[in-house]
Amino acid sequence: TTTAELPAAIDTVIFPFEGRQSVPKPILIEKSPNGLDTAFKMVQGKVEDIFVLQKAAGPKSLASGKLSFDGERLFARKVGGKLRSLLLVNGANVSVGGEQIVKSVKPLSWIAVSFEPAETKIYASSFEPSLTVPGATGKTVVSVMNTDDLIKTK
């Protein structure tokens, strides 16, 4: 049994892998004393998924994962040790192994990047002229989804 003062957080991941019956156990990377900020990974074969969750957006550095970002949430997938995709929520910058992967002067609601062998696909919540992906390889395809306009309240 675990007890915590409110607000509290429980790390929960629905983790399907096609054709797999077993679910890998989360490996804790670090957790704040109040449990509201956490980082963990799940490994299955050559696939490593990293989850970093913060209560509020801000700079975060994980020495163990050689990963740093400025944001609220970061989900990253490595395959065979190489970064294949990431999703940054309420953030602006991501670095892996000291290499800048995503850079923006202004934080965006979300940025998703998929590193394919021949191209890098970049999806963003809104247009931001300062957004660059220095870690891009091959052809770069950018899609601005304008989702921020869908969720604005009057």
Cα(154)–Cα(41) distance, integer angstroms:
39
pTM of the predicted model, to two decimals? Answer: 0.84
Among 34-38, 51-55, 69-73, 89-93, the minimum mean pLDDT is found in: 34-38
The SS3 call for residue 149 is helix
Residue 73 contacts residue 83 (beta carbons within 8 Å): no
Mean pLDDT of the chain: 85
User: Which one has a higher pLDDT value, 2 or 87?
Assistant: 87
Residue 56: the pLDDT is 83
Cα(116)–Cα(85) distance, integer angstroms:
9
pLDDT for residue 70 is more than 70? yes
Torsion of CA 10, 50, 37, 90, to 10 degrees: -110
Report the Cα–Cα distance between both ends of the chain, in Å, rounded: 44
User: Which one has a higher pLDDT value, 7 or 84?
Assistant: 84
pLDDT for residue 117 is more than 60? yes
pLDDT for residue 111 is more than 80? yes
